[in-house]
Structure 1
Amino acid sequence: MAYFKHISFLVFLLVLASCKTESKSAIKTETVSFTKEGELKVLSTETDSIKANFDIEIAETEYETQTGLMYRKSMKTNRGMLFVQPTEALQYFYMKNTEIPLDIIYINSGMKIVSFQKNAQPFNENTLPSNVPAKFVLEINAGLSDQLGLQVGDSISFSRL
C-alpha cells in the first residue's frame, strides 16, 4: 500500500510540473504596432538646419507613459516615441520589458535637448535619469543620436496629426 501511495505522489508531482511548464509557455504578449500620431524635427543649435525628422507616437497618459515602447520587436529608423510629462522635473526611465536598444533624449520645456542616455540596453531595469529637469523625453533607436550628430542645446519641434 505504501508503494502505491509513493507512486501516486510521484505521478502527482509529474502532473504538477508539466502543468507549470505549460502555463509558462502559454503566456504570450500581443505584438504592438506603430501608430503615427505626429511628426518631430530636431534642429541644429549652430545652424538652425534640420538634423532629423521622425514620425512619432505620443505618450502622455499614465498608461501610455508606463508602457512606452515595451513589447516591441523592432522600430524603423525614422520612428520614435515622444513622452509628454505633466511637469518639467527630473525624469527617470528604465527598459523593463523593452526589447530594443534605445537612445533616450531628455528635452526641457523650452524644447532644447538637455541630456541623453545613449544605448539603453533591452530589459535593463536600472534607472536612467535625465540629470537635469526635462518636460519631454524622446526615445529613438540606439546609436541614432551619435549617427545624426545630436547634441545638448539642439532643439525640437513637433506637431500632432
Structure 2
Amino acid sequence: MTIIPKILVTLSVISYLMACNNNRPAEKNNHQGNPTVTEDNGPQFRKDGDLWFIQKESNDTLRHIDIELAITDQERAKGLMYRKSMPEQQGMLFIFNEEQEQSFWMKNTYISLDILYINKDKEIVSIQKYATPLSEDGLPSYKPAMYVVEVVGGFCDKYHITYGDRVAFKAGKQLPESRIY
C-alpha cells in the first residue's frame, strides 16, 4: 500500500470518529478536573423576578417561585419553547397589555406544563393542567386574563393551587412604565 491510500484511510477513520463524537452529549470538566457529561436542556432560565401564590381564604403563601418574564411580543411567542426541563421552583410569567381571553399551545415545548390564567386583579381565573408536550391544540383561558404563569405539570395539584387563589410578583428588571402591575 502506498502512502496516499494510508493517509486517506487514516483521514476516513478520523472523520468517522469525529462524526460519532458529535452525536454525544457535551462534556465539561467538573471541579476535580474530570470530564462529566451534560445534556442540552435548551435555553437557560433567566431570573427576572419572584412570584408568590397566595391562598384565597387564609392569605397564606402557598408557594414562591423564581420567574422569567415574557413581556414583549417576541418573548411571549417563544415562551418556554425548546426547553427540555425546568425545576419546579421556576416558571414564566407572561404579561399582556390588556385583559382579554388568552389561548396558549405547546408547540415546540418539550415539558408538560400547568398554565394558569390570571385576571387584572391577579386572581387565578382558569388553569390548564398537565398540558401535553408538543401539542398544537389550543388551551384557552375561557375568561379574560392579563397574566399567564407557566410552571411544570403537576405543580398546581402538588401545592393545592386553584381558582380564586391570587398571585403577587416583583420584577427585578425594568418593566414598561405605561403598564400598571
TM range (shorter): 0.7 to 0.9
The AA in structure 1 aligned to 2:126 is S
Tell me, what secondary structure is at the counterpart of 1:159?
strand
The AA in structure 1 aligned to 2:122 is M
Q: Which residue of 2 is the match for residue 97 of structure 1? A: 108
Tell me, what secondary structure is at the counterpart of 1:152?
coil
* TM-score of the pair, normalised by structure 1: 0.81
Q: Which residue of 2 is the match for residue 133 of structure 1? A: 144
- 1:30 Cα offset (Å): 8.8
1:84 aligns with 2:95: yes
The answer for unaligned runs of 5 or more in structure 2 is 1-22, 24-39, 173-181
- 1:86 Cα offset (Å): 1.1
Of structures 1 and 2, the one scoring higher in RCO (CA 8 A, sep 6+) is 1
* TM-score of the pair, normalised by structure 2: 0.72
* Mapping of residues 107-122 of structure 1, within 5 Å: 107-122=118-133
Q: Which residue of 2 is the match for residue 57 of structure 1? A: 68
The answer for unaligned runs of 5 or more in structure 1 is 1-24
* Mapping of residues 26-45 of structure 1, within 5 Å: 31-45=42-56
Count the aligned residue pairs.
134
- 1:31 Cα offset (Å): 2.6
Identity of aligned residues (%): 43
* Mapping of residues 144-159 of structure 1, within 5 Å: 144-159=155-170
8 Å contact 2:41–2:85 — kept in the other structure?
no
For 2:152 and 2:125, the matched residues in 1 are separated by 18
Q: Which residue of 1 is the match for residue 79 of structure 2? A: 68
For 2:150 and 2:51, the matched residues in 1 are separated by 12
Moved over 3 A (4+): none
Q: Which residue of 2 is the match for residue 16 of structure 1? A: none
**Which of residues 47, 50, 65 is equivalent to 2:58?**
47
Query: Per residue, is there more helix in 1 or in 2?
Result: 1
What's the RMSD between the two structures over aligned residues? Answer: 1.4
The AA in structure 1 aligned to 2:168 is S
